[in-house]
Structure 1
Amino acid sequence: MTHSRITILGAGFAGLSAVRELRKRDRGCEITLVAPRAELHYLPGIIWIPSGLRTREDLVIPLDNFFRRTGVRFHPAEVVGLEQGGRLVKTSAGELSNDALVIATGGRFLKKLPGIEHAITPCEGIAAAERIRDRLREMTGGNIAFGFAGNPNEPSAMRGGPMFEFLFGIDEQLRREGRRDAFRLTFFSPAEQPGNRLGPKAVIHLLGEMKRRDILTHLGHKLKSFDASRVLTEGGEIPAEMIVFMPGMTGNAWFDATTLPRSPGGLLQADANCRVPGFERVYVCGDSGSFPGPDWMPKQAHMADLQAAAAAANLLGDLRGVASNETFKVELMCIVDSIDKGTLVWRTPERNVLLPSSRLFHWAKRGFEKQYLRKYR
């Protein structure tokens, strides 16, 4: 067991949690992690970039110390494919052999709508949030449209929560700056009940908050296209000098160069134990995978962490020849933040809790960030 070679693809939440979980259970295995950079980009914090509460430097965590502490060999490269049933990883900097493989390379956003280059997709990374910040500084007034859509073939491949945070955070920011009256904010979605994956109570709360803040809504109409000054839908058009839009998600482009099984939405098929069916000792966790479970199962860091723990336990069991069928809890846990206050939403298959806006939850979100990043600093 001490010489088993484990390769992890990705340095996001799922990949790094897999490292921690493996090391918790086994100090001897060889772990190689493949990613373009030895950095964690803490994307939950980008909602605070437009207001200046966070900067790029706050959210980019160098991982050299973490890799040294955990005895991980870092392989700086892009993944380009797999061979030999997953035992050989092809990268832009050579090939790597393994005895077990964890795929945690995240997802990518569907960019199929005509004119989507006119929209900023915030969860693509820190640079996108900086573009929103810089554009807001340039604007003296006008129309801003915020929206999200899903992957019609993959109900869970959606990231709507951060969109509400950008919407409410920018509304609050403009009020603080004394500029809110010069702007018209509109929220749009092809869904009639946006946020329904957070639960019915959350939909009522979020739409009520939009009404309270004088944010217009354009809901239930299929999106057609974007251009430099508007969003076009089957229900009309929304004027917008800035469009902040989160499309649905699909799998990485490199998946196409493999024979890995795919879901209808393009993600990697996974079972309840995070195993990839038909592939020996190949596991997936986080946004890359399509997992059995309720259609509201979130694509978020907390879920990636839970899946990484199950994948690590089953991987080590499989290497040792011991029956292991760890599953992960399906749990949505988020604080929808608005710069100074936050609303707590918690959902499991048994219950759905919403605790209304409070300064306490804003500070809890900031405290969680500090505690989480301490593991990697």
Structure 2
Amino acid sequence: MHAHQQDQTIGGRTVINRRNFIAASAAAGTIAALTTPALAAPSAITANTVLRQRGSKPRIVIAGGGWGGLTAARYLRESAPDAEIIVLERNPVFWSCPMSNKWLVDIVPTDFIMHDLYKPAKKYGYEIIQTEVTAIERDAKRVRTSHGTLDYDYLIIAGGIRNAYDAWFGDDEEAISFTRKNFPSAYIPSAEHLSLKQKVQNFEGGTLVMTLPPPPHRCPPSPYERACIIAHHFKTKKIPAKILILDPKPRVMPINGGFTMAFEELYPDIIEHVPNAGVKELDPFNKRISTAAGDFDFDDAILMPPHQACDMVWYAALIAHKPEVGPGGWADIDPLMLHAKSDDSVYVIGDCMGAISPQFGHYPKSAHVANFMGRIVATYIGQRIAEKEVTPLLPDNLCYMMVNGEPKEAISVLFEYELTGEGVVHQTQIDIDVRTEDQYEEDFRWINRTFKDFLV
């Protein structure tokens, strides 16, 4: 389907094609796993408790143990074998947003998307500490956590997104708390997924509203896929339900991607898509919502607010600002080197990354891109530690989304990128495959292959 692409020389620097990069990564030798000690809590933890004393080796701290962070840790052991690599993650286990929509209706079991964090750390030879990052002091190259402080030479922020409920409610903490508890968005690995699963499986009928976050937003879990999977569950269980998708966009994206046909052909009596329905006012207590496309009442809801970069990007004061509108909500990064524009010792990868290109804006905030960025940044840091020239690398993006449960069918979307002669990243190709059973099977091949790359 795609012609082989050669490496490019742009501005005197070689730009390695993504397929050549993948092949080189796969051929790299295996590094012996190093056993790392578990976190021993100090007898009295204070704000100045030192988590790990510094040694003579370069120290790379990774804030966030998700798709991007764990991938970076795994590949840093190869690209920087003499470095000390420490991952900070607040969750006790790895929870995958990809496949989580299928988990809502028991298409996949819990142990398919939940994994042990210590196993890959032991296998690849990095240390993982379960703790909460509370501050980032870039001037001192120090991360503060709920267990103490940690100095770094390089910092990788890979914390994903935050739900920007303040865009709806301002500083009304009561409304935010009530919405989070009763109408969970389940976009961040947490107990919200269990709450949403219980909501879906206990739903007895009526109108279920889904507000979609405006772009750019995390995907997966794809909100359209979520609507289709839940609609299939309602259809199979003969639950008299209507799913009302309140979409801030003017049309279903991607255009001709199969979702519109799925809505119309598979779930015409269940799913109603309302375009241009950005939220204007929300009353969660009385189950009423006002949008640019009209006002709606609901029996239950999945209220997905706008997304922004994770709190750690804000702690580090790395949010891009637009003078005409204020904070942009995403990290201000170099689009090729992926470090902060204001601090080349701090890299930002995954969903919290800022805009990359004037042509398409952001890379898709997908697990596939996060995994790719983890490999790219690991390569960059390894080159810098070895005092070599840093060679720009580009990702691609691949997403699968299930739309039908019987037969099990999915669609896929592939994006590719290249550098122009001016050194600007351009999106060069979009491939969209209509729903087939083969795409559903490819989805599982993709995730099993990727899990083996960094997790199991």
- In structure 2, the residue matched to 1:240 is 298
- In structure 2, the residue matched to 1:335 is 400
Q: How does 1:1-377 map to 2 (within 5 A)?
A: 3-85=57-139, 87-112=141-166, 113-114=168-169, 117=179, 118-125=182-189, 127-150=191-214, 155-159=215-219, 162-179=222-239, 182-195=240-253, 198=254, 200-202=255-257, 205-212=258-265, 213-214=267-268, 215-223=271-279, 224-227=281-284, 228-260=286-318, 262-263=320-321, 264-271=327-334, 272-293=336-357, 294-295=360-361, 297-329=363-395, 331-338=396-403, 339=405, 340-348=408-416, 349-374=427-452, 375-377=454-456
Number of equivalenced pairs: 365
- For structure 1, the residue ranges without an aligned partner over 5 or more in a row are none
The answer to whether the Cα contact below 8 Å between 2:313 and 2:352 also exists between their aligned partners in 1 is no
Distance 2:364 2:448 in 1: 22
The answer to whether the Cα contact below 8 Å between 1:108 and 1:249 also exists between their aligned partners in 2 is yes
The CA deviation at 1:261 is 5.0
The answer to whether the Cα contact below 8 Å between 1:105 and 1:288 also exists between their aligned partners in 2 is yes
Structure with the largest fraction of helix: 1
Distance 1:159 1:363 in 2: 19
The CA deviation at 1:40 is 1.5
The CA deviation at 1:167 is 0.5
The answer to whether the Cα contact below 8 Å between 2:289 and 2:297 also exists between their aligned partners in 1 is yes
The CA deviation at 1:296 is 5.4
Distance 1:60 1:158 in 2: 19
Larger radius of gyration: 2
The answer to whether the Cα contact below 8 Å between 1:159 and 1:246 also exists between their aligned partners in 2 is no
Is the partner of 2:246 in helix, strand or coil? Answer: strand
Distance 1:364 1:298 in 2: 20
Distance 1:102 1:24 in 2: 16
Distance 1:201 1:235 in 2: 23
The root-mean-square deviation of aligned C-alpha atoms, in Å, is 2.4
Matched letter for residue 379 of structure 2: A
Cα distance change, pair 27–241 in 1 and its aligned pair in 2 (3 A): same
The CA deviation at 1:169 is 0.5
The CA deviation at 1:327 is 2.9
The CA deviation at 1:306 is 1.9
The CA deviation at 1:160 is 7.5
**Deviation per CA, 1:146-172, whole angstroms, max 9, x where unpaired?**
23122xxxx534547611111000111
Distance 2:68 2:413 in 1: 22
Distance 1:189 1:4 in 2: 47
The answer to whether the Cα contact below 8 Å between 1:47 and 1:129 also exists between their aligned partners in 2 is no
User: After the TM superposition, which of the residue ranges 167-176 and 113-122 deviates more from structure 2?
Assistant: 113-122
Is the partner of 2:393 in helix, strand or coil? Answer: coil
The answer to whether the Cα contact below 8 Å between 1:11 and 1:39 also exists between their aligned partners in 2 is no
The CA deviation at 1:126 is 5.2
User: After the TM superposition, which of the residue ranges 335-344 and 233-242 deviates more from structure 2?
Assistant: 233-242
The CA deviation at 1:88 is 1.4
Matched letter for residue 263 of structure 2: M
Distance 2:394 2:233 in 1: 38
Matched letter for residue 211 of structure 1: E
Distance 1:234 1:147 in 2: 12
Identity across aligned pairs (percent)?
Answer: 17
The CA deviation at 1:80 is 1.5
The answer to whether the Cα contact below 8 Å between 1:147 and 1:189 also exists between their aligned partners in 2 is yes
The CA deviation at 1:373 is 2.7
**Deviation per CA, 1:18-47, whole angstroms, max 9, x where unpaired?**
012212323221111111135221111210
The CA deviation at 1:300 is 0.5
